[in-house]
Amino acid sequence: MDATENTSAVPRPTAPRAARTVPVLIVGGGPVGLALAAELGWRGVGCELVEQSDGAITTPKMNEVNTRTMEFCRRWGIADAVRQCPFPDDHPLDVVFVTSLAGYELARMRRPPRGQQHAGGDSPERMQICSQIWFDPILRNFAQGQPGVTLRHRTRLQSFAAAADGVTAELHDLDSGRCETINADYLVGCDGATSAIRDAIGVALTGQGTLGHPLHLFFRAPDLLERCGREPGVFFLAIDRHGLWANIRVVDPANGLWRLMALETDGKQTPESVDRAALLQRAIGRPIDVQWQGVSIWTRRSVVAERYGQGRVFLAGDAVHQLSPTGALGMNTGIGDAVDLGWKLAAVLQGWGGARLLASYDAERRPIGLRNVAMATEFHFAHGEFRGGTAAIEDDSDAGRALRARLGASLARDVGRMFRTAGLQLGYRYEASPICVADGTPPTPDDPEAFVPSARPGSRAPHAWLADGRSTLDLFSRGFVLLRFAAPDTAALEQAARTRGVQLGVVDVDDPAAAALYERRLVLVRPDGHVAWRGDTIPVDAAALIDRVRGAA
Ligand SMILES: Cc1cc2nc3c(=O)[nH]c(=O)nc-3n(C[C@H](O)[C@H](O)[C@H](O)COP(=O)(O)OP(=O)(O)OC[C@H]3O[C@@H](n4cnc5c(N)ncnc54)[C@H](O)[C@@H]3O)c2cc1C
């Protein structure tokens, strides 16, 4: 990252203007930077986000907004907007294993259309299919509607200097060529996989590294499924006589936008050298006319940063974890980072966060990065078991049918795991967090597939429907919330919170099912919806408890 790193189309930077100060400077307007701006703005904390592109999404990556991210959207008040995105309500979300789109079907994992889904027992929300082409603008509109949030496109962070009391950054307006120096209390790099901020603070990535070089072909083909005689679905995995080699996803059914992903290239191809017609014919199983929209070759990685920041500089999203899209965890993990970091930055800037609060960001989120990267990598390697091919898979014979049935069952069991991730989405917990008070109970199993709700400190406070139709999650807001399942005297804790400027709401819950789920008469829930402490009575030293959970102990 330096002042000479411009493309020739970009005007040369001019001399810096006088500095102004913002509380938080966010670099990168991908979904994670936007989520952080949203979280900060929602908490009343000013921030400026700079994004070097114009914000247009030319090659959308993510499609699945998982259940936990939907819960965050619910808190922000934008869950309905995500649900109402243009993905049709009646389009089945089935995952289907095929020899080709027009070929044989080996197995089908049925997932009902959005319009027929009901919230499950574990969450008031469900995973939503909402391509980045719609999701990023929803986040962007919400973020820029918050007072104190400024989003600036075509603006690049050119360089920065971090000191003990703040960060000075040089920004380059790519349209005018003007440079500006800006002071920030904190800098957050949401600048993606090639994060220059990460490099500048000397943070290395560790892990298995590069796993491959998949290829994306985007095309428009209205009525493709009808033309192939295929029952609708959303994600088709192609396994032919040469093995499992591709997936085909409908991104925008109403407009016939599709993405074909060839799982592997030789690493030497370029978008220009790719024989896209041959790949398409192999995936569809017959010649078909399409309108080409774009080609990209990207790198599949399995890495996590050794640190999530340094001093007043923090990193979030792909800047600190890069994982295979198998399991749809990339952005969703990054949004978890943004929410965790967001409330902590707000607490410190608003004066009630303790000196150790920000350090807990790394302690809490890095283990989740490691967990999710490991799981996504495992899902990716499950594909490898089916790379070897056999010609009989395409035989119109009893033997061919038997082989397809056998393979289909194995594929749905092994590769299909990446679509059964309730535990991964909701079951992450902040073990050994310095700002949660362990209660000595053993951890529930961290099973990727099966979610086991728990109110054990560090866990996401579990969901239960209340008599008035709200979820317990709707009781949580910007501050801490003390859930009272009986009415012990909590005045000492309330007083301790007040004297430290910590916002603490007290909510009486008269609901036996919720009481059984939470297991204690008192449960203290953090501003991000995780349990900080639970017990049956207020501890003798209530002030020490408040200091612990606000990072001042
Ligand atoms: C095929 C595929 C499918 C996927 N599907 C899913 C899915 O279903 N669900 C899911 O959760 N995840 C999915 N992911 C992963 C997800 O897309 C990424 O994890 C996510 O986009 C990362 O967001 P980010 O904001 O951290 O980074 P990015 O989206 O990479 O954004 C970083 C931004 O920073 C900007 N920037 C960089 N440097 C500077 C600078 N110096 N100044 C200003 N701006 C700068 C860049 O222009 C860029 O816009 C998928 C990924 C792939 C490849």
> 31 alpha carbon to ligand 1 midpoint, in Å?
7
What distance lies between CA 175 and its chain's CA centroid? 31
Residue 14: pLDDT over 80 = no
pTM for the complete prediction?
0.95
DSSP string, 49-63: EE-SS-S--SS----
DSSP string, 77-127: T-HHHHHTSSS-TTS---EEEESSTTS-EEEEE----GGG----SS-S---
Task: Name the residue of 7, 34, 61 to mutate for ligand 1: max ligand atoms within 8 A of Cβ.
Answer: 61
Helix locations, 255-358, DSSP H: 276-284, 330-349
What distance lies between CA 311 and its chain's CA centroid? 25
Do the beta carbons of residue 381 and residue 76 sit within 8 Å? Answer: no
Q: What secondary structure letter does DSSP report for 43?
A: T
The Cα-based distances of 414 to 127, 246, 307 in angstroms read 21, 16, 33
Residue 341 dihedral angles phi and psi, to the nearest 5°: -70, -35
**Atom 9 of ligand 1: nearest residue by CA position:** 328
Measured CA angle at 235 (ends 234, 239), to 5 deg: 145
Do the beta carbons of residue 485 and residue 522 sit within 8 Å? Answer: yes
> 132 alpha carbon to ligand 1 midpoint, in Å?
10
Q: Give me the pLDDT at residue 3, please.
A: 33
Question: For ligand 1, what atom is nearest to the CA of residue 1?
Answer: 41
Do the beta carbons of residue 527 and residue 480 sit within 8 Å? Answer: yes
User: How many C-alpha atoms does 246 have within 13 Å on its Cβ side?
Assistant: 27
The Cα-based distances of 336 to 32, 220, 365, 372 in angstroms read 9, 33, 8, 12
Q: Cβ atoms within 10 A of the Cβ of 19, count?
A: 13
> 25 alpha carbon to ligand 1 midpoint, in Å?
18
The residue whose two tokens read 């495992």 is 378
Which residues form the pocket of ligand 1, taking CB atoms under 6 Å from any ligand atom?
27-33, 50-53, 61-64, 156-157, 190-192, 196, 298, 317-318, 325, 328-332, 334
Residue 61: pLDDT over 50 = yes
**Pairwise CA distance, residues 259 & 199, whole Å:** 32
> 57 alpha carbon to ligand 1 midpoint, in Å?
11
> 148 alpha carbon to ligand 1 midpoint, in Å?
24
Residue 456 dihedral angles phi and psi, to the nearest 5°: -65, 140
**Pairwise CA distance, residues 55 & 140, whole Å:** 9
> 533 alpha carbon to ligand 1 midpoint, in Å?
34
**Atom 5 of ligand 1: nearest residue by CA position:** 62
Q: Cβ atoms within 10 A of the Cβ of 147, count?
A: 7
Pairing of strands 166-173, 257-262: unpaired
**Pairwise CA distance, residues 531 & 263, whole Å:** 40
| Short-list 254, 232, 278, CA closest to 108 | 232
**Atom 38 of ligand 1: nearest residue by CA position:** 191
Q: Give me the pLDDT at residue 129, please.
A: 96
Q: Give me the pLDDT at residue 58, please.
A: 82
Q: Give me the pLDDT at residue 1, please.
A: 58
Q: For the chain, what is the radius of gyration of the CA atoms?
A: 25
Residue 11: pLDDT over 60 = no
**Pairwise CA distance, residues 358 & 364, whole Å:** 10
Q: Which amino acid is at 517?
A: L
| Short-list 306, 303, 285, CA closest to 377 | 303
**Pairwise CA distance, residues 355 & 34, whole Å:** 26
Do the beta carbons of residue 280 and residue 219 sit within 8 Å? Answer: yes
**Residue range 201-243, pLDDT digits in tens:** 999 999 999 999 999 999 999 999 999 999 999 999 999 999 9
Task: Name the residue of 34, 50, 51, 188 to mutate for ligand 1: max ligand atoms within 8 A of Cβ.
Answer: 51
13 — pLDDT class (breaks 50, 70, 90): very low
**Atom 45 of ligand 1: nearest residue by CA position:** 28
> 29 alpha carbon to ligand 1 midpoint, in Å?
9
Question: For ligand 1, what atom is nearest to the CA of residue 64?
Answer: 8
Q: What is the mean pLDDT of residues 125-134?
A: 96
Q: How many helices (H) and strands (E) does the chain have?
A: 14, 24
Helix (H) or strand (E) holding 216: strand 215-220
Q: Which amino acid is at 414?
A: D
The CA dihedral of 88, 90, 95, 97, to the nearest 10 degrees, is -100
For residue 291, what are its two tokens?
A: 């309108």
Q: Give me the pLDDT at residue 212, please.
A: 95
**Residue range 148-179, pLDDT digits in tens:** 999 999 999 999 999 999 999 999 999 999 99
Q: Cβ atoms within 10 A of the Cβ of 142, count?
A: 21
Residue 21: pLDDT over 80 = yes
> 32 alpha carbon to ligand 1 midpoint, in Å?
7
**Residue range 263-293, pLDDT digits in tens:** 998 878 888 899 999 999 999 999 999 999 9
> 304 alpha carbon to ligand 1 midpoint, in Å?
15
